[in-house]
Amino acid sequence: METVLSTQKLTKNFGRLRAVNQLDLEVKRGQVFGMLGPNGSGKTTTLGMLMGVVNPSSGSFSLFGQAATNELRKKIGAVLEHPIFYPYLSGQKNLELTAMIKGATADQITKVLHVVELTDRQEDKYRTYSLGMKQRLAIASALLSDPVVLILDEPTNGLDPMGIAEIRQIIKKIAADGKTIILASHLLDEVQKVCSHFAILRKGNLVHSGPVDEVGKGEETVEVLAYHDDLSVLLQEFSGTQSLVKENVNYVVKMKDGFHSQDLNRFLFEKGIVASHLVTQKKSLEKQFLEILAEEESKKQKV
Amino acid sequence: MLHLLRIDLKKLTSYRTFWVVCGLYFLTLAFTTASGMEFLKWLASKGTQFGTTLNINRIPLYHFPDVWQNLVFISGFFKIVLAIMVVISITNEFTYRTIRQNIIDGLSRWQFLQSKILTNLLLSLMSVVMVFIIGLVTGLIYSPEINLGYIFTDLEFFPAYFLEVFAFLSYALMLGLLVQRSGLTIIILMLSHMIEAIIKVNIPDRAEFLKVFFPMESISNLVPMPFARYAFQEIQDYVSLGSVAIALVWIFLFNYFGYRKLQKSDI
């Protein structure tokens, strides 16, 4: 698969602060790539370097396998942090200006305004827009030149639940068109809902990178409840049990590798016990994220 | 090139402040330069009150070819208005952060700067055309005899005036890029002449020859003050090539410093 974007040991220092540290990333065509990380982890700085507004301190990066130029940037639609437009120009005029820079045609403007449902307000000045409309106009301007890659940085920041749902819908629609999307966010379920791949940044360091599908693989965790006095003893006897804790009324069994919930169910049944509650806990990206961060933390403390 | 100019003009032509400032500039320029005779009449009437007589017909303010240097010199004072407009245009890009989005969208930093420089060139050119038309009209009205030879004398003041305006706008653009805040930039811009004067006063006598190389001085030296000739004094009624050369160097430096700053900073 074609590499859309890659960084080699990309580093940025702001004075004594190292915002991005020796970052190696690779995004391939067609991926919906989520960049996760707490606030201030270097997501926006990284994207800023890729888009030519922040000068890297060291390291390099390439777009579409070539050294980055402003011409290549025209093939990328990007919104970093907040939407940025001329407040005294109308939505339409702002897009006309972007179209001039990107070399897009006038009928594209009509099209993207339709996609983000701003056609009714296109003649109004940008400063009269609500935050949600500003975000939508920003997505519209990113879509203008029919870009191969779309970079969205916290696109749902500060929106109400309805606005968030709308933006998510738009992102899904765009992803369905086969565009590569890079989505920076600190909202985990947002990434899990729309992304195919993800990377986790922390204080400028890359701590994890891989497909979202793999989240939830590995050992299973099963919640069990059955009316039997010695349930805890029995569960300890089960050969697939790695650890056991009691949470509220339920027992939570962490399984050894290769054992699944049906094995536990069969074991209980053979002992003559029928479970009244048996749930396989799906590992969420949130859990995974916290685990990865915790692992990093403990590694550091050992060092 | 023309494409970049059109991008910058697109930003400005829907900006009301731009029309107000440019409107004020061209109106005051036109009124001031065209009302010289009225001023002389007022001066004469004041003089009569004090018992001196001033024969205004003996002052050929608007006669070809005097009119060219007179008008160009006076017009030079109004370039500050255009320069403030240039400062607003560039500092807006920083306050709205639109310079960042322009570059993300696919302009190179140099292209962005070029679009601003091209607008400066256009504004300077429009000033030249404006003053030329006013000069031609007033000259035709007030000159006692129309002589083509006289009309085409001293036209070299127009390229000099062009350089004067463009150099000052380049300076304003550079200040805007360096300071990035409109209020502070405008204050520095207005105080520039004064700051330079203070420095010039304090340089030792043996370094006197350096004075002509100062930026503001070199910009004003392009078109020398002509009015002393009506008090029977010798004036410089030509454009000196030395001052043109110095101004050209400054124009290059102003734009180069702006370029360096833009290339090196994170936006």
* Rounded distance between C-alpha atoms, residue B253 and residue B213, angstroms: 13
One DSSP character per residue, B9-36 reads: HHHHHT-HHHHHHHHHHHHHHHHHHHTH
| Structure confidence at residue B22 (pLDDT) | 94
Q: Which residue of B has its CA nearest to A56?
A: B266
- Asked if B104 and A78 come within 8 Å (Cβ–Cβ), the reply is yes
| CB-based contact B33:B75 (threshold 8 Å) | yes
In tens, the pLDDT along A136-169 reads 999 999 999 888 899 999 888 878 888 888 888 8
Q: What pLDDT does residue A92 have?
A: 95
The conformation of residue B145, written as its DSSP 8-state character, comes to S
Q: Assess whether pLDDT exceeds 90 at residue A96.
A: yes
- The answer to whether A224 and A248 have CB atoms below 8 angstroms apart is no
Q: For residue range B22-38, list pLDDT tens digits in order.
A: 999 999 999 998 888 88
Going by the DSSP 8-state scheme, the letter that residue A215 receives in this structure is: T
Cα distance from B90 to chain A (closest Cα, Å)?
13
Query: How much is the average pLDDT of A1-25?
Result: 92
Q: What is the DSSP letter of B4?
A: H
Q: Any idea which residue has 């001293």 for tokens? A: B154
| Chain A residues lying within 8 Å of B15, measured CB to CB | 86, 88
> Taking Cα atoms as reference points, which of A128, A152, A127, A125 lies closest to residue A141?
A152
pLDDT interval class at A250 (50, 70, 90): confident
For residue B53, the tally of other CB atoms under 10 A from its CB is: 8
Q: Cβ of A102 and B264 within 8 Å?
A: no
Long-range contacts of A58-61 (CB under 8 A, 24+ apart): A58/A9, A58/A10, A58/A11, A59/A7, A59/A8, A59/A9, A59/A10, A59/A11, A59/A22, A59/A23, A60/A7, A60/A8, A60/A9, A60/A10, A61/A5, A61/A6, A61/A7, A61/A8, A61/A10
A96 vs A83: CA distance, rounded Å: 16
Q: If interface means Cβ-Cβ distance under 8 Å, which residues of chain B face chain A? A: 3, 6-7, 10-11, 14-16, 96-98, 100-109, 111, 264-267
**How confident is the model at residue A223, as a pLDDT?**
85
Q: Is the CB of A48 less than 8 angstroms away from the CB of B266? A: yes
pLDDT reported for residue A218: 63
- At residue A216, does pLDDT exceed 70? no
Q: What is the per-residue pLDDT across A112-144, written as a single tens digit (0 to 9) for each? A: 999 888 999 999 999 999 988 999 999 999 999
- Which of A216, A211, A290 has its CA nearest to residue A26? A211
Q: Which long-range contacts (CB under 8 A, 24 or more apart) does B27-31 make?
A: B28/B78, B28/B81, B29/B75, B29/B78, B29/B127, B29/B130, B29/B131, B29/B134, B30/B130, B30/B134
The beta strands (E) that lie in chain B are given as none
Looking at residue B235, its pLDDT comes to: 85
**Residue whose C-alpha is closest to residue A259's, from A235, A275, A276:** A235
How far away is chain A from the Cα of B264, in angstroms, using its nearest Cα?
7
Residue A72 tokens read as: 């290549």
A171 in contact with chain B, both atoms CB, cutoff 8 A: no
Averaged over successive runs of 10 residues, the pLDDT of chain B (267 residues) comes to 95 95 93 87 81 76 89 94 96 96 95 97 96 93 86 92 98 97 96 94 88 93 89 84 96 97 93
Q: What is the pLDDT of residue B144?
A: 85
Residues B113/B262, Cβ–Cβ less than 8 Å: yes
Is there a contact between B14 and A89 if contact means CB atoms under 8 Å apart?
yes
Assess A74–B contact: CB distance below 8 Å, yes or no.
Answer: yes
Closest by CA position to A183, among listed A203, A212, A163, A219: A212
Residues of A with Cβ-Cβ distance to B266 under 8 angstroms: 48, 53-55
Q: How far is the C-alpha of B135 from the C-alpha of B141, rounded, in Å?
A: 10
Q: What is the pLDDT of residues A270-295, one digit of tens each?
A: 888 888 888 887 667 777 777 777 77
**Exposed / middle / buried, residue A183 (Cβ in 10 Å: 0-12, 13-18, 19+):** buried
pLDDT digits 0-9 by tens, B247-266: 999 999 999 999 999 999 99
The pLDDT assigned to B60 comes to 84
**A67 membership: H or E segment, kind and range:** strand A66-67
Nearest CA in chain B to A14: B266
Q: Do A74 and B105 touch (CB under 8 A)?
A: yes
Residue for token pair 């749930």: A279
- Whether residue A274 lies within 8 A of chain B, CB to CB, comes out as no
Among positive and negative, which fits the CA dihedral A125, A127, A128, A129? Answer: positive
- Residue A52 to residue B15, Cβ atoms within 8 A: no
- How far apart are the CA of A186 and the nearest CA of chain B, in angstroms? 22
Nearest to A53 among B3, B104, B111 (CB): B104
CA distance A260 to A215: 16
* Partners of residue B16 in chain A, C-beta under 8 Å: 88
How large is the ipTM? 0.89
> CB–CB of B34/B134 below 8 Å?
yes
| Residues of chain B positioned with their CB less than 8 A from the CB of A96 | 10
- Residues A174-187 have pLDDT tens digits of 888 888 999 998 77
Q: Taking Cα atoms as reference points, which of B227, B262, B231, B244 lies closest to residue B162?
A: B244
- A-B contacts (CB, under 8 Å): 73
Cβ-Cβ contacts under 8 Å, A109 against chain B: none
Query: What is the signed CA dihedral for B188, B193, B199, B201, rounded to 10 degrees?
Result: -150
Amino acid at A260: H
Partners of A202 in beta bridges: A205
Between the alpha carbon of residue A57 and those of residues A45, A199, B77, B111, B259, the distances in Å are: 12, 22, 45, 23, 20
Query: Chain B within 8 Å of A165 (Cβ-Cβ)?
Result: no
How many Å apart are CA A261 and CA A115, to the nearest integer? 45
Contacts of A71 in chain B (CB under 8 A): 106
pLDDT in tens, A26-76: 999 988 899 988 888 899 999 999 999 999 999 999 999 999 999 999 999
A48 part of contact set with chain B, CB < 8 Å: yes
CB contact under 8 A, A53 and B11: no
